[in-house]
Amino acid sequence: MRSPSLASRFLATLVVSCVLPLLLYGWFSLRAMRSQIDEQLDVFLPQLAADHAGKMEARLDQVCRAVAVVREIARRVLDAGAEPRRLDAEIEAFEEQVLPVPDLLDNYLDLLLLAEPGGRIVFWQDGQLLDRNTRQQRASLLPKSVAGQEWFVRAQVHRGAFFQPWGRSPLLHRGCDWVSFDPAAWHMGYVVDVPHADGPPGVLLALIRWPQFQQVLDDARQVLVDQAGLASAQAMLVDGNGRICGHTDRQNYAALLQPASLREAVAHGPGGRIEFDDGGRRHVAGFATLQRIGLRDWSLVLRIPRAELFARSDAFVRVLAIAIGVTVFVLIVWSLVASRAIVRPVQDLVAATQRVAHGDLAVRVPAAGGPELGGLARAFNLMAGELAAGREKLKSAERERAWAEMARQVAHEIKNPLTPMRMVAQLLLKARKDGDARAEMVAERLAKTVLEQTEALDRIAADFRQFAGSPQRRVETVALDALVAEVHAAGAALFSAGALHLEHQPGATGVFVAVDRTELARVFVNLLQNAVQAMAPAPAMVQLRTGVRGERAFVTIIDAGPGIPDAVRGRLFEPYFTTKTAGTGLGLAICRRVVEANGGTIQLARSAPGHTEFVIELPLAGPPTAS
């Protein structure tokens, strides 16, 4: 693993000492800020929802009290129901007394309807804020009797007062199934029974004007916008079925509250705060229930995106990130300037060291960078000078050692052929001196020995010449199977009869290699000769196999000899190394040099008693072109 540079470590030290405290400060501040916001939310949102839910309840209380006053007035109307003349007078008096009731038809109600015990409508009055031009149209919507209406039957059976479900009333609108986004198109009814002394009660129905409750929702949202800067805040009123009965975004009127997790929490909770996911975004909601009888399952909900809620803390994070970025930039610039005086001499020293490693011992570095680095530079220059002098001495010693080794090897190899020649020559001299009749036979033996040993001397000289020289190669493109077939055919002529049983298994049909045919043939002959010598006096069993692996062709030479000991396998291709009693030890070294010169490799793939395997790999070449 590469260790960091001096400049990097210097910069890291500056960053840790300067940026880390800033990060810790930011982390603790952000954590405290978010914690404070969460604590405030736990109180603020539910309290704000409860305050505005209380405002709605107060308005409902005003409506209920006003309707209670009207109920008492209406009792006299119903008591006069049996006498038409008296009924008309009582209705006229009832209208005169109802209209002055504070805010009743001016702000609270859009319709006030009185039905006698039989269901006949004896009085109705629409709100003052409705369009006067459409009053005749509204009058046409009113039936003559409401005896079959669910709210009328319920009021007569159960008595008392109750709220009618919120929606679009057929008493004021046609097409009640059509969803309107105008709060004025929606109402909630308030129904009370009107006791009658002679029988079942009559019923008083008040349709409560809805825009005033929408105004409460708008006011709640405005508080969040003005005081907390939460522009995406929403306020809504939800009934017990999860339907939205009021929303600051009018497009959500009559929709089902989403998501389901929020709907369930609002439906089953008395109030409080909840966090939830909606469409992959996190939101926070505070809600409070309306406590009036008949509306306890209604809730006022305030909803805020969490991202906007924590916008200030996120802005703090951005400012902190910018501050850290600027700090790091300043530290980088400063570290580059401050470390230049240290790094530059070190870099020069590294470059000089690399040149020394590549053999340039004449390089020198300036003694700059203060007393410490200057002393290091002077020590380096002294070392480079001593290395240059030492290399010259080493080259001279290596040359002398190489020549001494060569001379020793040549002397050793020449001594072997000279010994039998000297012995036969001494025998001939003795025979002639003694007048031995066998002198002619000894002379013939001497001549034969001289011829054999001079041939051995010639082979020794050829080996040394081939190992030391750089012959001119003649590279040509040949078919690998054909080249190996030539070696197979020449095997019988190269070795005495019965000494070699050679088998060729071609497997590289159509494969060509670019090699020196003569040199490569010598490599095969050398390996075959080693196999014959290893298995003598028994016949040598050798197989030649060819094939292709990827982009390279290969030739495998397998013999059935005794194998090569593990101790010597690593030195097989070293010059002058041999396990034979005779030989120069250059055969396999020459083989490797020839194969590598032709772009290939040779290796001992496997060796065991009865199976020794050499593999020669050569790069593929295209077929020869016609000349």
Parts of the chain belonging to CATH 3.30.450.20? 56-213
Residue of higher predicted confidence among 333 and 80 = 333
Per-residue pLDDT band at 205 (split at 50, 70, 90): very high
What are 115-151's pLDDT values in tens digits?
A: 988 899 988 989 888 888 888 888 888 999 999 899 9
- Pick from 289-298, 416-425, 437-446, 554-563 the range whose average pLDDT is largest: 554-563
d(CA 566, CA 556): 20
Asked if pLDDT for residue 443 goes beyond 80, the answer is no
Asked if pLDDT for residue 214 goes beyond 90, the answer is yes
> DSSP characters for 482-538?
HHHHHHHHHHHHHS-TTSEEEEEE---TT-EEEEEHHHHHHHHHHHHHHHHHHHTTS
Per-residue pLDDT band at 248 (split at 50, 70, 90): very high
Asked if pLDDT for residue 216 goes beyond 90, the answer is yes
Per-residue pLDDT band at 83 (split at 50, 70, 90): low
Residue of higher predicted confidence among 428 and 225 = 225
The arithmetic mean of pLDDT across residues 518-522, rounded, is 80
Residue of higher predicted confidence among 498 and 6 = 498
The arithmetic mean of pLDDT across residues 454-467, rounded, is 60
d(CA 298, CA 287): 10
Share of the chain above pLDDT 70, in %: 79
The arithmetic mean of pLDDT across residues 607-626, rounded, is 84
Superfamily of domain 472-621: Histidine kinase-like ATPase, C-terminal domain (3.30.565.10)
Alpha helices in 203-310 (DSSP H): 211-228, 260-268, 306-309
The rounded mean pLDDT for the chain is: 80
In 10 A of CB 193, how many CB atoms?
A: 22
Provide the CATH topology of domain 56-213: Beta-Lactamase (3.30.450)
Parts of the chain belonging to CATH 3.30.565.10? 472-621
Asked if pLDDT for residue 302 goes beyond 90, the answer is yes
Give pLDDT, residue 217. 94
What are 529-563's pLDDT values in tens digits?
A: 888 887 877 888 888 899 998 889 999 989 888 88
Share of the chain above pLDDT 90, in %: 17
Of the candidates 508, 533, 510, the residue with the CA atom closest to the CA atom of residue 616 = 508
The arithmetic mean of pLDDT across residues 610-616, rounded, is 89
What are 157-187's pLDDT values in tens digits?
A: 888 889 988 888 888 887 777 888 899 889 9
> DSSP characters for 228-254?
H--TT-EEEEE-TTSBEEEESSGGGTT
The arithmetic mean of pLDDT across residues 234-244, rounded, is 92
Residue of higher predicted confidence among 423 and 363 = 363
Give pLDDT, residue 42. 77
Asked if pLDDT for residue 48 goes beyond 80, the answer is yes
d(CA 155, CA 193): 6
Residue 324 CA: distances (Å) to CA of 17, 284, 436: 13, 31, 113
Per-residue pLDDT band at 589 (split at 50, 70, 90): confident
What are 306-359's pLDDT values in tens digits?
A: 888 777 777 777 787 888 788 777 777 777 776 666 667 777 777 777 777 777
Asked if pLDDT for residue 78 goes beyond 60, the answer is yes
> DSSP characters for 418-449?
HHHHHHHHHHHHHHHHTT-TTHHHHHHHHHHH
Asked if pLDDT for residue 211 goes beyond 90, the answer is yes
What are 461-476's pLDDT values in tens digits?
A: 655 555 555 556 688 8
Strands 187-196 and 199-209: antiparallel
Q: What is the pTM of this model?
A: 0.52
Asked if pLDDT for residue 82 goes beyond 60, the answer is no
Of 103-107, 357-361, 383-387, 452-456, the range with the lowest mean pLDDT is 452-456
In 10 A of CB 421, how many CB atoms?
A: 16
Residue of higher predicted confidence among 372 and 581 = 372
